[in-house]
Structure 1
Amino acid sequence: MKKIRRFESTLWLLIKVVLYCLLMAAFIMIMAKENPTLIRLSRTMGITLSTYCVCGLLFLSIYGKYDVGRRKSKPIIYSLSLAVLFTDIVTYLQLMIMNTITPSVYAFRFDSIGSLVLAYAVQFIIIVAAAYGGNGLFFMIHEPESCCVVTSSQESLDCIARAIMKYKKQYRIDYIVDYRDKDALKTIKKAQTVFLYDVPSLQRSEIIRFCYKEKKNIYMNPEMEDIVEINAQYYLLDDVSVINANVKAWTMEQRVMKKLMDMGLAILLGILTSPIWLVSAIAIKAYDGGSIFFKQKRATIHGRVFEVYKFRTMRENVENRSVTDDDDRITKPGKILRKTRMDELPQLINILKGDMSFVGPRPEMLENVEAYEEELPEFRYRLRVKAGLTGYAQIAGKYNTSPKDKLIMDMMYIEQFSIVRDIQLMFQTLIVLLKSDSTEAFKTGKEEEKYIFVPAKETEETEKSGE
């Protein structure tokens, strides 16, 4: 294993090259049954290979690469499957266009869609084998990293430990220490990786300096000042190094482009999903005869209040509170709509009305906004832009993600905004439909017990009571 680790970067590079070549070869070889020029030296072959490579790199940058060891197998499968699907479709359309412009005896026809489906099925099998096999190989080479969690309270420990414990093959929590412990640095030195969670800025800086000196891997939860710093740029003022955080509102051009994109997509998706609207409305009405739509007051840009539209998924006149597993308020049609996220479709109306955008922070209930702002005053910064149908917090987070983590994700989006980023997030929204935990409800107290972790040892009191 030590010898393998010496050449590990080369090994993974070769595995990635072989994987991507196999995926492309599966498409080319199967589609060649309909168009033999694909496996002959020809213009068709050259353009098709070029198109496949360019589109493949583009969609891999959107959905994520073959990063075994960093992610679990299923997320890798979801990412690669979607990237390959869109690459196949674009390349297939390019082939049809080429043969339409220059007709030949091997003219591509729509009835070759069967070959496309077969090619994707073979590619999917390759992706599944590569994901599980790659992660299996990675964890044969690497044992779980010995970790030290540095935190400030039992509540914070429970939060970060719950997340780490979902990656048991990557991380093993061996040490837990209160940042105020006088022997904290000695404990940190024993570990390979350090998780800093809810540690004050001053003490965190000291620990980071120590970890850098000792060459320890560092993970830390970001605060607002970190978001500003992450999005800042290095700037040389004469011969003085500074970091420039150019905090300003979006430009007029960005706003106009975003508005045009919102209107165009809302109309297009409204037309394409009209059958789903019809079936959903019939199912909701037939189940209990109640109203089809659910309306609720939410907050959008600058705190403006509007009514958000959704397909009704709960029984009427029930208590309005967060959803839990096996919630008896949810109707049978509602379970399907919530699982597939189709209950969100009526928000296309909100987009056309100008209340929402396609991409942005999710609109929170008014009572939640007040509660969150009381605990996190920075939460109001989310209202600098319009609420969105989808966003980074909806793609990367879950229904029960903490308000602070949602805030961090939303602020990252706001500070890194671009039209290209919006398009990327729209494509990534498809991953939400595949993730089983994206609609994960709040757990009951009984279920939370499995996440209980050994708390950090309390530090000795060095000050007298009352001082």
Structure 2
Amino acid sequence: MPKISIVTPAYNCEKYLEEAVNSVLAQSFEDWELLIIDDCSKDATWLRMQTLAKKDNRIRIFQNQHNSGSAATRNNGIRQARGEWIAFLDSDDLWRPEKLQRQMSVLRKHPDAAFLFTGSAFIEDDGMTIAHVLHVPEKVSRKKLLKQNVISCSSVLIRRELMLEFPMPEEDGIHEDFATWLAILSKIPCAYGVDEPLLVYRRALASKSGKKGKSAHMNWQTYIKAGVPTVSRVYYMVSYTLHGLSKYSMLWWRSYRLMMRKERFKKLFLMIMNALLLLAWTSVFAHAWYQKYNYKAIIGRQYSFWGYVALFVLYAALNILIGKVFSVFRVVHQQYIEILLSHGFTVILANAATYIELALIGRWRFRMHIAPMIAVAAINLLIGLVWSLLVRWLYANIYPAHEVLLIYGKNNMESLEEELLKQGERFHLKTRISLKEGREAIIREIRRHESVMLGEMPEEERTFYIRYCFEQKKRCYCQTTLADILLMSSEKISLSDKTLQLFRNCGLTVEQRAAKRVFDVAFSALVLVLLSWLYLILALYVRIAAGAPILTKRECLTRNGKHFWQYKFRTMKPGKTIENQDPWIPGGYFLMVSHLDELPQFFNVLKGDMSVVGPYPEQVESAEHIQKKLPEFTYRQAIKAGLTGYAKVHGKYSSSKSNQLKMDFYYIQNYSFALDLSIIASTLKVLLEPSVSRRK
């Protein structure tokens, strides 16, 4: 005879039933039987029950002759039960694996206990976890229970003879489980609680308990059923209402936060916050305009209403354009130094451009009427920084780190796990599971997590889990492969009713190469002219501090595997490498970490050996070594090597060669002049950020 009989009423629950049954099968306490009673479901619940019964001979299934309701179905299960104890589990709820074990352990401390229950955690209808726990007292008497029902039906464990003596009322309009607990506690002194969330309650707003007005009326009727006097009923209803407001307001807020975490609401939240920032910035400029510039004697003309609108829209558009380039609206996961630099560059450039526009309209001499625009820039910078802190705080509270399930194959995932730990504000690595565990176990884990991350694995497995996550509306992160990059950059072609993807390996077009070369020459010449004084100072410093030579040169690879000599200011002593002890000339380490040693590469750009933006130039010897392990590394040679690049900006000199290849290949396949400008702008931020690792 089993120790515990678990009764599960089932009605139109094919969607959830298997997950509930699996939570029973996972129990560490194994002396149980599970009775599933179908209450004449209209879907495939009965067929699902038959399949589940084959999993374990401890599962027994029954079917009512007609639809009887949950109370009658539970009573039917109690009569069929053979165990000493009765437990209930609704078909859409779940148990933690240690639920029964923890409750049975209470009996060792309280051998006279006949009624036990536990705390609860909560999930949404789609399985997403709500960050709320229902705590329960160690003991609860009938009088205390009248004030607040803290006993969830799916958490109880009750002696069978009590349930036979006090079956659940089979009438409508009351909380049948609450009425049963009150009836039982009229005979025994108390029920014993385990204050742990061993029950996972699925919150469905369409249920009886989800409609709070109706639930309150049912509570009143339950008091009448329990024989509570009128005056006492009023007192207990007030207590019930106050406790309910406290409980469900917190649950609502955390459920609201969970709803907002869904992708469509996240984008809406960020869009609203970005709009508020632009409105604040434009308002500051509008105030300065009306107070300082909107005079014919200053601006030279009187504007109409639509002139004002055009001016303010142009100002907002400038901030959007420059802000996009410097990623000013993507503050959520940036470091604080990145936020400061992004806002600094955006505010300075946007307001400088606006001042030039006003100066041209008013025909001012340089620096005339500049003070108001400096004030606007300073105030907007302060607003931007405060806004960034506010957005980060709200985002962290509404969108806490995603609980990630990592699915991995044979390869070591240590590097990926280290990166996830570094990104703790974005990802919480909750569970790891190997492909060896099988698809059934992995799917069960996917359902319990909001996000899934796929490590390196066979393409068939990868495709299966991506598709499954998509169907289940789960976030799925995958490590990018070269094939993914090719697919992203391919061209879609329609052939009658068929769709083809066109893949090409032709590098940059003639027009793109020509435009890129014109920009390289113009930009390099401008830098060399503007910074000529700095070149002279650095050359004199190296000559005085370390003697000749001033420059070093390395044989590197550029487009189509062509060899060239890359120039840098010397930072190391002759014959020394970075692996040696004390290899630097005086001030050499500073020149290296500040990237000032790379300034002579603009001469390489003028000569045509390099481009301003492109893959990092690898030395010939190291490139040959890398290509033996990673043959695809030659894909980077489709364009000229660059002084800065996509991999430099995003990897910040610390990426593995495999990841560097993927980032450079992405840049080549998705090249545009706008992307070049974005990389140059991001380089300005990277140069001013603290160095994260040594360059090699």
**Fold-level similarity (TM above 0.5):** yes
State whether structure 2 residue 296 is matched by structure 1 residue 18: no
Q: Could you give the per-residue CA deviations for residues 197-251 of structure 1, whole angstroms, max 9, x where no partner exists?
A: 2223222112212222222211111111111101123332111122223432322
What is residue 419 of structure 2 aligned with on the other side? 163
What is residue 29 of structure 1 aligned with on the other side? 287
Length-normalised TM-score, structure 1: 0.84
Which amino acid counterpart does residue 360 of structure 2 have in structure 1?
I
Q: What is the distance in 2 between the residues matched to 1:428 and 1:116?
A: 25
What is residue 59 of structure 1 aligned with on the other side? 322
What is residue 150 of structure 1 aligned with on the other side? 407
What is residue 232 of structure 1 aligned with on the other side? 490
Give the conservation status (yes or no) of the 8 Å contact 1:69–1:170.
Answer: no
Shift of the 149–261 alpha-carbon distance from structure 1 to 2, 3 Å rule, reads same
Q: Could you give the per-residue CA deviations for residues 24-60 of structure 1, whole angstroms, max 9, x where no partner exists?
A: 233443466652448x854874453233122222223
Q: What is the distance in 2 between the residues matched to 1:115 and 1:337?
A: 38
Q: What is the distance in 1 between the residues matched to 2:291 and 2:536?
A: 40
Shift of the 32–285 alpha-carbon distance from structure 1 to 2, 3 Å rule, reads farther
Q: Could you give the per-residue CA deviations for residues 339-372 of structure 1, whole angstroms, max 9, x where no partner exists?
A: 3322111001111111111111010122221222
Q: Could you give the per-residue CA deviations for residues 393-440 of structure 1, whole angstroms, max 9, x where no partner exists?
A: 111112121111111110011111123332332233212223224x52
State whether structure 2 residue 371 is matched by structure 1 residue 117: no
Deviation, structure 1 residue 192: 1.3
Shift of the 332–192 alpha-carbon distance from structure 1 to 2, 3 Å rule, reads farther
Give the conservation status (yes or no) of the 8 Å contact 1:294–1:309.
Answer: yes
State whether structure 2 residue 529 is matched by structure 1 residue 271: yes
What is residue 390 of structure 2 aligned with on the other side? 133
Which structure 2 residues correspond to residues 386-425 of structure 1 after superposition, within 5 A?
386-425=640-679
- In structure 1, the gaps of 5 or more residues are 101-106, 444-467
State whether structure 2 residue 587 is matched by structure 1 residue 333: yes
SS in 2 for 1:296: strand
Deviation, structure 1 residue 314: 2.0
Deviation, structure 1 residue 116: 3.5
Shift of the 5–149 alpha-carbon distance from structure 1 to 2, 3 Å rule, reads closer
Which amino acid counterpart does residue 121 of structure 1 have in structure 2?
A
Q: What is the distance in 2 between the residues matched to 1:31 and 1:286?
A: 53
Shift of the 352–12 alpha-carbon distance from structure 1 to 2, 3 Å rule, reads closer
Q: What is the distance in 2 between the residues matched to 1:442 and 1:346?
A: 17
Give the conservation status (yes or no) of the 8 Å contact 2:610–2:641.
Answer: yes
Q: What is the distance in 2 between the residues matched to 1:401 and 1:85?
A: 32
Q: What is the distance in 1 between the residues matched to 2:466 and 2:269?
A: 32
What is residue 225 of structure 2 aligned with on the other side? none
Deviation, structure 1 residue 61: 2.7
What is residue 87 of structure 2 aligned with on the other side? none
State whether structure 2 residue 351 is matched by structure 1 residue 88: yes
Deviation, structure 1 residue 111: 4.4
Aligned length: 431
Which amino acid counterpart does residue 360 of structure 1 have in structure 2?
G
Give the conservation status (yes or no) of the 8 Å contact 1:362–1:388.
Answer: yes
What is residue 501 of structure 2 aligned with on the other side? 243
Length-normalised TM-score, structure 2: 0.58
State whether structure 2 residue 689 is matched by structure 1 residue 435: yes
What is residue 281 of structure 1 aligned with on the other side? 539
Q: What is the distance in 1 between the residues matched to 2:482 and 2:555?
A: 28
SS in 2 for 1:270: helix
Shift of the 319–76 alpha-carbon distance from structure 1 to 2, 3 Å rule, reads closer
Q: What is the distance in 2 between the residues matched to 1:142 and 1:256?
A: 46
Which amino acid counterpart does residue 161 of structure 1 have in structure 2?
E
Q: Which has the higher strand share?
A: 2
Q: What is the distance in 2 between the residues matched to 1:241 and 1:263?
A: 42
Deviation, structure 1 residue 253: 1.7
What is residue 103 of structure 1 aligned with on the other side? none
Q: What is the distance in 1 between the residues matched to 2:427 and 2:361?
A: 51
Deviation, structure 1 residue 177: 1.9
Which amino acid counterpart does residue 283 of structure 1 have in structure 2?
Y
Shift of the 291–117 alpha-carbon distance from structure 1 to 2, 3 Å rule, reads farther
Which structure 2 residues correspond to residues 337-416 of structure 1 after superposition, within 5 A?
337-416=591-670
Q: What is the distance in 2 between the residues matched to 1:371 and 1:181?
A: 37
Worse overlay, 341-350 or 174-183: 174-183
SS in 1 for 2:456: coil
Deviation, structure 1 residue 141: 1.6
Q: Could you give the per-residue CA deviations for residues 102-136 of structure 1, whole angstroms, max 9, x where no partner exists?
A: xxxxx464144444333322222212211122111
Give the conservation status (yes or no) of the 8 Å contact 1:23–1:123.
Answer: yes
Which amino acid counterpart does residue 463 of structure 2 have in structure 1?
S
What is residue 198 of structure 1 aligned with on the other side? 456
Q: What is the distance in 1 between the residues matched to 2:551 and 2:583?
A: 16
Which structure 2 residues correspond to residues 72-83 of structure 1 after superposition, within 5 A?
72-83=335-346
From 414, 432, 435, the equivalent of 1:179 is 435
Shift of the 122–274 alpha-carbon distance from structure 1 to 2, 3 Å rule, reads same
Deviation, structure 1 residue 255: 1.6
Shift of the 435–27 alpha-carbon distance from structure 1 to 2, 3 Å rule, reads farther
- In structure 2, the gaps of 5 or more residues are 1-252
Q: What is the distance in 1 between the residues matched to 2:402 and 2:653?
A: 29
Worse overlay, 57-66 or 40-49: 40-49
Worse overlay, 13-22 or 25-34: 25-34
Percent sequence identity over matched residues?
A: 25
Give the conservation status (yes or no) of the 8 Å contact 1:99–1:108.
Answer: no
SS in 1 for 2:566: strand
Q: Could you give the per-residue CA deviations for residues 225-282 of structure 1, whole angstroms, max 9, x where no partner exists?
A: 1111011233321111222234323222222221121112111111011111112112
Give the conservation status (yes or no) of the 8 Å contact 2:612–2:643.
Answer: yes
Shift of the 28–394 alpha-carbon distance from structure 1 to 2, 3 Å rule, reads farther
Q: What is the distance in 2 between the residues matched to 1:77 and 1:430?
A: 12
Q: Which has the higher helix share?
A: 1
Q: What is the distance in 2 between the residues matched to 1:389 and 1:274?
A: 18
Give the conservation status (yes or no) of the 8 Å contact 2:507–2:668.
Answer: no
- Aligned CA-pair RMSD: 2.7
Which amino acid counterpart does residue 143 of structure 1 have in structure 2?
P
Shift of the 6–180 alpha-carbon distance from structure 1 to 2, 3 Å rule, reads closer
Give the conservation status (yes or no) of the 8 Å contact 1:361–1:387.
Answer: yes
Worse overlay, 234-243 or 7-16: 7-16
Q: What is the distance in 2 between the residues matched to 1:267 and 1:120?
A: 30
Q: What is the distance in 2 between the residues matched to 1:313 and 1:89?
A: 37
Give the conservation status (yes or no) of the 8 Å contact 2:410–2:457.
Answer: no
Q: What is the distance in 2 between the residues matched to 1:194 and 1:385?
A: 36
Q: What is the distance in 1 between the residues matched to 2:450 and 2:289?
A: 49
